[in-house]
């Protein structure tokens, strides 16, 4: 197969290599089935995989996940690891919504018991969990408290009474990235963060009630607290306007550095700075602060969800049994140890629309999950399935311990809206037996199921490639969107 003037070499049933050409410092690697590759080529995201391979200090390969599609700088679904001495950090490799991520919460409830109360529960969640553009949360922060959030992440939520120690334990990195510096966050960004903590936002962010309909790996499902017929809850949100502003601010800084240092990058959206430079270190401090805001934001959303479900049903906390399975981000750059060229090295891993998938035994996993691997969440669209997986040993070698973060778009938002003219999203979702509440009908039209790839096909690639193994399939029953 060829993409423009580039050959694609099929190296397995689930992997394709883009050989080094021109200024590429490493090959490209894309995980996909032959059928999915046609969509990927049409989207031109492969051009971005090639562009990323030009970045100074990149190691091993520029990687594309099976949900890959066109993004800013890096493709969404892009992974790249950098040498910490010679490599660079690029905001385009993290994205605007820093540490956007997904939290899964299990319960003691069955969907059969919950379904008769679903309409009133969804109405309560839509009322009590702020969503939509410009929404504000129930917590109002002054400057001192905001700086505690930026430094502490989920640890701040524990100290403020919005989280338990268990919530923090079952959050990636304990819910707090080290190295955060509130002074690396601009006044404009801070102003945007004062009243948005505990808000869902808009776009593809969601709160979802799902039923566990299939178990593939009983051992891992048991460790995660999942059982067939169970009602579970997804929360998908990030760092809101604060994170967006941090990215925007540092894109200007990186652009100036790239020009001054005459870094040879094929796309100005890949503006970057050496990790060891003052600009690079400063961005990483601001990135960590925004990531901590995102961790705290999802924790407050989880708190509101838990409280609302218990009030609406009503149930005692022990009877509801709502607790965090795991919380993992998918727009990050993190220092990690990986084996490169046969030896362990400290590297900086960019994950843009990609999530960690650490294997059994990894020391960063909670003890309860070290026997089965890290929970990996691949939500689909609001009308079809979502999946829970567990990181597999081969992930470290194949993808720097990374998996995809969703199904991946196959239609632009504009095209999705246009396709819905004369149709009712609510009626079509009702036919799928999915209850929907939203703040914006325009946003809802952008998120129709056909706008996304088939998540089952995406998950099969991840499973067959050896990145993560399937644990459970979830079916949406209700969705709340901005």
Give strand ranges (E) for 84-199: 88-89, 101-106
Collapsed DSSP state (helix, strand, coil) of residue 320: helix
User: What is residue 339's three-state secondary structure?
Assistant: strand
H/E stretch holding 127: helix 118-128
CA distance 461 to 106: 26
Please give the Cα distance from 258 to 203 (Å, whole number): 31
- What would the DSSP string read from start to end of 390-411? EE-TTHHHHHSSEEE-SS-BSS
Q: Is the dihedral of CA 131, 447, 103, 76 positive or negative?
A: negative
Residues 340, 398: contact at Cβ < 8 Å? no
The structure tokens listed for 337 are 């140890």
Rounded to whole angstroms, the maximal C-alpha distance in the chain is: 63
Catalytically annotated residue among 54, 236, 350, 405 = 405
Distance separating alpha carbons of residues 73 and 267, to the nearest angstrom? 7
- Per the rule left: phi > 0, alpha: psi between -120 and 50, beta: everything else, 73 is left
Known active-site residue 405: yes
CB 94 within 8 A of CB 352: yes
How many Å apart are CA 360 and CA 223, to the nearest integer?
A: 12
Give the integer Cα–Cα distance in Å for 100 and 102: 7
Token output for 81 = 């690891």
The two tokens of residue 253 are 């800084």
Helix (H) or strand (E) holding 460: helix 455-465
Name 2's Cβ contacts closer than 8 Å, sequence gap at least 6. Answer: 8
- 306 by Cβ neighbours in 10 Å (0-12 / 13-18 / 19+) ranks as buried
Other Cβ atoms closer than 10 A to 141: 20
229 neighbors 110 (Cβ within 8 angstroms)? yes
* Ramachandran category for residue 37: left, alpha or beta (phi over 0 → left; psi -120 to 50 → alpha): alpha
Torsion of CA 46, 48, 53, 58, to 10 degrees: -120
Q: CA angle, corner 92, sides to 340 and 449, nearest 5?
A: 100
Positions marked active-site: 405
């Amino acid at each position: 197969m060829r993409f423009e003037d580039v050959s694609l070499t099929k190296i397995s049933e689930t992997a394709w290599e883009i050989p080094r050409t021109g200024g590429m410092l490493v090959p490209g690697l894309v995980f996909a089935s032959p059928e999915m590759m046609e969509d990927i080529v049409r989207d031109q995201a492969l051009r971005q995989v090639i562009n990323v391979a030009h970045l100074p200090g990149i190691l091993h390969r520029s990687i594309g996940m099976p949900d890959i599609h066109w993004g800013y700088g890096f493709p969404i679904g892009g992974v790249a690891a950098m040498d910490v001495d010679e490599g660079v950090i690029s905001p385009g490799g993290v994205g605007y919504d820093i540490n956007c991520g997904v939290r899964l919460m299990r319960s003691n409830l069955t969907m059969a018991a919950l379904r008769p109360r679903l309409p009133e529960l969804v109405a309560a969640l839509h009322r009590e969990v702020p969503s939509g553009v410009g929404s504000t949360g129930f917590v109002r922060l002054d400057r001192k408290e905001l700086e505690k959030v930026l430094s502490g992440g989920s640890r701040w939520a524990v100290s403020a009474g919005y989280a338990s120690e268990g919530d923090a334990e079952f959050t990636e990195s304990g819910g707090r990235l080290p190295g955060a510096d509130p002074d690396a966050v601009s006044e404009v960004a801070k102003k945007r963060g004062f009243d948005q903590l505990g808000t869902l936002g808009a776009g593809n962010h969601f709160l979802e009630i799902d039923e566990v309909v299939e178990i593939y790996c009983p051992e891992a499902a048991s460790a995660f607290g999942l059982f067939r017929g169970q009602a579970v809850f997804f929360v998908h949100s990030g760092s809101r306007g604060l994170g967006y502003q941090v990215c925007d601010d540092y894109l200007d800084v990186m652009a100036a550095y790239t020009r001054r240092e005459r870094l040879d990058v094929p796309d100005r959206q890949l503006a970057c700075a050496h990790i060891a430079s003052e600009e690079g270190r400063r961005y990483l401090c601001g990135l960590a602060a925004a990531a901590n805001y995102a961790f705290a934001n999802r924790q407050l959303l989880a708190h509101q969800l838990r409280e609302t479900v218990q009030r609406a049903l009503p149930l005692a906390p022990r009877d509801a049994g709502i607790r965090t399975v795991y919380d993992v981000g998918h727009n990050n750059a993190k220092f990690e140890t990986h084996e490169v060229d046969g030896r362990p090295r400290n590297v900086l891993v960019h994950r843009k629309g990609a999530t960690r998938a650490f294997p059994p035994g990894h020391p960063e996993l909670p003890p309860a999950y070290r026997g089965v691997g890290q929970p990996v969440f691949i939500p689909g669209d609001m009308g079809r399935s979502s999946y829970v997986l567990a990181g597999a040993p081969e992930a470290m070698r194949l993808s720097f311990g990374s998996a995809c973060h969703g199904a991946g778009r196959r239609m632009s938002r504009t095209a999705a809206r246009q396709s819905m003219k004369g149709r009712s999203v609510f009626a079509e979702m009702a036919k799928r037996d999915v209850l929907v509440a939203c703040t914006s009908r325009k946003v809802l039209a952008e998120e129709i199921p056909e706008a996304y790839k088939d998540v089952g096909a995406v998950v099969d690639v991840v499973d067959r490639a050896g990145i993560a193994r399937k644990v459970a399939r979830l079916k949406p029953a209700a969705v709340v969107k901005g």
